[in-house]
Amino acid sequence: MILTLDVGNTNIKTGLFEDGRLIHSWRMSSARHRTADELGIKMESFFLHAGRKTEEVTGIIISSVIPSMNFTIEHMCSLYFKNAEVMFVGPGIKTGMNIRYENPKELGSDRICNAVAAYRLYGGPVLTVDFGTATTFGVVSEKGDFLGGAICPGIIISLDALTERTAKLPRVELIRPKSVIGRNTTSCIQAGVVYGYVGQVDYIINKIQMELNEPDIKVVATGGMSRFIAEYSHYDIILNSTLTLEGLYMIYRLNTAQP
């Protein structure tokens, strides 16, 4: 079995693959102060709940956007997955994709995983949108080249910033209001954040289509808020909640002969 770890700014998403199929996935908060033992015991509890053993894992591949956690994650793997070979997605690893980024070292490994999975699953040209702590857009050409994309604050960050940097605006539940014309402070905030964010996403998609002259580019969304935003978008967005994990597994297979 192969274990994939996507270490994001808010959560660590994990996926367990067997015979080329994702059989289990879990997530936990990516609290930076956690020790290797705390993370390892958490992982063991996931495996116990699924009726599996950590000894069954023969390989681990990790995507991380928190460099300060990498040593802890690697140490956890060596302690609790002793039969597994560990690799990180980073410079020098095979992706099967031409990265046309000015400085590939600056490119988040999760964006690479999303691009690899989207192209292999849906073909090109394809646009990935990952709704995480930040919302990232990644563009892959028809030939399978990663061209670049865009990064903007995630919708939760946007909402938090609004309420934290203003004296009288309250925290509100992130739901779609009945009308874009709010009749109280709560519905006004909800209308501005939700409809404004959907508009931002649709505008970026439209500009990418125009710049590439690809009006029929496929759009694939992943991340915690993907379903919420895609529901109100004008575009026919493909939802894949495990896109990053699948990309990790594909990259693992490219770099090792293990099943």
CATH code, 78: 3.30.420.40
The reply to whether 66 and 128 lie within a common domain is no
Burial class (CB in 10 A: 0-12, 13-18, 19+), 236: exposed
The reply to whether 145 and 210 lie within a common domain is yes
Tens-digit pLDDT profile for residues 160-204: 999 899 988 998 988 888 889 999 999 999 999 999 999 999 999
The reply to whether 141 and 214 lie within a common domain is yes
The reply to whether 133 and 237 lie within a common domain is yes
pLDDT at 258 over 60: no
The reply to whether 233 and 187 lie within a common domain is yes
Average pLDDT over residues 88-107: 91
- pLDDT band for position 8 (50/70/90)? very high
Torsion, Cα 182 188 193 198, to 10 degrees, reads 10
The reply to whether 223 and 134 lie within a common domain is yes
Least confident interval from 103-107, 109-113, 241-245 = 103-107
The reply to whether 144 and 67 lie within a common domain is no
The reply to whether 50 and 145 lie within a common domain is no
The reply to whether 131 and 80 lie within a common domain is no
Identify whether 189 is part of a domain. Answer: yes
Identify whether 254 is part of a domain. Answer: no
Tens-digit pLDDT profile for residues 128-161: 999 999 999 999 999 999 999 999 999 999 999 9
Average pLDDT over residues 216-230: 92
Which has the closest alpha carbon to 44: 9, 11, 85, 3? 3
Average pLDDT, the chain: 94
Identify whether 196 is part of a domain. Answer: yes
**Predicted local confidence at residue 178, as pLDDT:** 85
Domain of residue 187, residue span = 124-242
pLDDT at 91 over 90: no
Last residue of one domain, picked from the residues 60, 88, 116: 88
Q: Verify whether residue 130 is a known catalytic residue.
A: no
- pLDDT band for position 104 (50/70/90)? confident
**Predicted local confidence at residue 81, as pLDDT:** 96
pLDDT at 27 over 60: yes
Write the CA distances from 186 to 16, 151, 193, integer angstroms: 41, 27, 11
Average pLDDT over residues 202-225: 95
In the chain, how many domains are there?
2
**Predicted local confidence at residue 118, as pLDDT:** 98
**Predicted local confidence at residue 257, as pLDDT:** 67
Which has the closest alpha carbon to 117: 138, 100, 92? 138
Identify whether 100 is part of a domain. Answer: no
pLDDT at 259 over 70: no
The reply to whether 153 and 76 lie within a common domain is no
Identify whether 73 is part of a domain. Answer: yes
The reply to whether 185 and 237 lie within a common domain is yes
**Predicted local confidence at residue 105, as pLDDT:** 86
Identify whether 111 is part of a domain. Answer: no
The reply to whether 145 and 237 lie within a common domain is yes
- Let me know: does 110 contact 120? Beta carbons within 8 Å: no
**Predicted local confidence at residue 125, as pLDDT:** 97
Identify whether 50 is part of a domain. Answer: yes
Identify whether 229 is part of a domain. Answer: yes
pLDDT at 111 over 80: yes
Catalytic-labelled residue, pool 19, 37, 110, 216: 110
* Predicted structure pTM score: 0.93
Which has the closest alpha carbon to 125: 141, 110, 136, 109? 141
Angle at 189 between CA 187 and CA 192, to 5 degrees: 105
- What's the rounded Cα separation, in Å, for the pair 246 and 259? 14
